[in-house]
């Protein structure tokens, strides 16, 4: 088999998605997600100008060699743009291989290790009351695990909370909008929020929370400790993780489980966190961490240290990433949980898929490949529109972590 064509499709059915489609001389094609929220065009250029020309004529079955060729061959290793482009290629190649074998992708990875995939969704509200309502709604849909984010009294706009009760969408404007942050107000409120959620919903529901990189290590340690009575499934991205040592301090002070890694793109970003057992869940997923080939390496390494997976699954990861991640989750022995932030109907129409939700769990479906396609005609109706992630400033104007 030979690769005869590859093209990038950019579509914006409510938000921007980048898709790579690779076609072979046998008529089989594969698709991969290459969406990097707010920086989509950088990945498009990386693919069109550098990777696609080198793909034409290659045997798509040589996934490992193609991966190494683009990783080592770039000389400039790692980084979100390059690793996202590489992930798009890798995902499309696995799709082709599984279609050629006439098997669902999870079978090629080693077969399924579970019957269904536990998934968490988001419950967000502007205040305590609307947040409790959002949790009740998510629970009624069957979710066994729910990420809870809430507006903070005294702060106008908070991460994870949408304006008009719509689904939360992080990339909200043509140029970065500005949010305001107060660590004091946040830390004073969050333990109370989880006390109320536990009081209302009892001990069984899995509760998660995303700090979104905003605390210092000692502040994160305080929050983790104060949340201990509410038995969180995890506290995510407690601090910015460029400094992996920061987690040592958090770990010394709290038994609240820690998750990190949605912005990581290589095993080297989490090696120390994992081998020193400073985290419990690794959040990296296929599209931003070099595809299935590389994520599998991260997961196998994590398994040696009792660290489980918790793949990122926000709306800015296309249904192609979701589908591929679900095949990965079905197989991976050290699976923890999968995030699911629902795509709109429009998005689901552009990306028809075989995966299904039932009572809090997903299954990837039995279609050959990863089971997600792109309707190119429909995709063409939604042109790209620049959309940026917000920035965050302290109340005195200092730029902070978003
Ligand atoms: O593009 C940024 C989003 O994917 C991110 O803000 C979502 O933190 C996130 C999460 O945990 O889903
Ligand atoms: Mg997150």
What are the structure tokens assigned to 228, written together? 């201990």
Q: Which ligand is nearest to the CA of 401?
A: 1
pLDDT the model gives residue 366 = 98
**Ligand 1 pocket, residues with Cβ under 6 angstroms:** 37, 170, 210, 212, 262, 312, 314, 316, 339
Q: Which of 46, 120, 186, 212 is catalytic?
A: 212
Tell me whether residue 212 is one of the annotated catalytic residues: yes
Mutate to test the pocket of ligand 1, among 262, 263, 321, 392 (most ligand atoms within 8 A of CB): 262
Give nearest CA residue, ligand 1 atom 12: 314
Q: Cα separation of 337 and 340, whole Å? A: 10
List, for the chain, all residue ranges whose pLDDT scores fall below the cut of 50.
Answer: none
| Gap between the Cα atoms of 56 and 22, Å rounded | 9
Provide the pLDDT for residue 157. Answer: 87
**Reading across the β-sheet that carries 17-24, which strands appear in turn?**
3-11, 17-24, 29-33
Q: Which of 26, 27, 28, 32 is CA-nearest to residue 52?
A: 32
Predicted confidence at residue 286, as pLDDT, reads 98
What whole-number distance in Å separates Cα of residue 186 and Cα of residue 192? 10
Q: Which two tokens stand for residue 33?
A: 């997600």
Q: Specify the CATH number of the domain 3-104.
A: 3.30.390.10
**How big is the chain, counted in residues?**
402
Question: What ligand 1 atom has the least distance to the C-alpha of 236?
Answer: 11
Query: What pTM does this model have?
Result: 0.97
Domain boundaries, the chain: 3-104, 108-366
**pLDDT for residue 112:** 98
d(CA 293, CA 111): 16
Name beta bridge partners: 399: 393
pLDDT at 232: 98
Residue 162 pLDDT: 84
What homologous superfamily is domain 108-366 in, according to CATH?
Enolase-like C-terminal domain (3.20.20.120)
- DSSP H/E element including 99: helix 80-100
Please state, in angstroms and rounded to a whole number, the distance separating the CA atoms of residues 304 and 146.
28
Angle (deg, nearest 10), helices 291-303 and 267-275: 10
């Amino acid at each position: 088999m030979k690769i005869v064509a590859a093209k990038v499709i950019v579509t914006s059915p409510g938000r921007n998605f980048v898709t790579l489609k690779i076609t072979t001389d046998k008529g089989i094609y594969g698709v991969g997600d290459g969406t990097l929220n707010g920086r989509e065009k950088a990945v498009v250029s990386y693919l069109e100008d550098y990777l696609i020309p080198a793909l034409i004529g290659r045997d798509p079955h040589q996934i490992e060699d193609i991966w190494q060729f683009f990783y080592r061959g770039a000389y400039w290793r790692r980084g979100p743009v390059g690793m996202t482009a590489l992930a798009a290629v890798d995902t499309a190649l696995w799709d082709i291989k599984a279609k050629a074998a006439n098997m669902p992708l999870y079978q090629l990875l080693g077969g399924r290790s579970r019957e269904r995939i536990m998934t968490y969704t988001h419950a967000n509200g502007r205040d305590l009351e609307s947040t409790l309502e959002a949790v009740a709604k998510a629970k009624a849909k069957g979710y066994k695990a729910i990420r809870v984010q809430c507006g903070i009294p005294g702060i106008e706009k908070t991460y994870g909370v949408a304006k008009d009760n719509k689904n939360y969408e992080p990339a909200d404007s043509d140029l970065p909008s500005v949010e305001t942050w107060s660590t004091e107000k946040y830390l004073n409120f969050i333990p109370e929020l989880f006390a109320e959620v536990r009081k209302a919903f009892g001990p069984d529901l899995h509760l998660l929370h995303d700090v979104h990189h905003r605390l210092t290590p000692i502040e994160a340690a305080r929050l983790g400790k104060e949340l201990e009575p509410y038995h969180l499934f995890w506290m995510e991205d407690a601090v910015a993780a460029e400094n992996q040592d920061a987690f040592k301090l958090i770990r010394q002070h709290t038994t609240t489980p820690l998750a990190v890694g949605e912005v990581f793109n290589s095993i080297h970003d989490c090696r120390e966190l994992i081998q020193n057992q400073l985290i419990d869940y690794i959040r990296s997923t296929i599209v931003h961490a070099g595809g299935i080939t590389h994520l599998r390496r991260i997961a196998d390494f994590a398994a040696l240290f009792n660290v489980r997976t918790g793949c990122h699954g926000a709306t800015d990861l296309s249904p192609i990433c979701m589908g591929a991640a679900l095949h990965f989750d079905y197989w991976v022995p050290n699976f923890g949980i999968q995030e699911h932030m629902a795509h709109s109907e429009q998005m689901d129409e552009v990306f028809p898929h075989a995966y299904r939700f039932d009572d809090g769990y997903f299954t990837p479906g039995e279609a050959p490949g990863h089971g997600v396609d792109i309707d190119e005609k429909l995709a063409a109706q939604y042109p790209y529109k620049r959309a940026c992630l917000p920035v965050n400033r302290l109340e005195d104007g200092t730029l902070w972590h978003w």
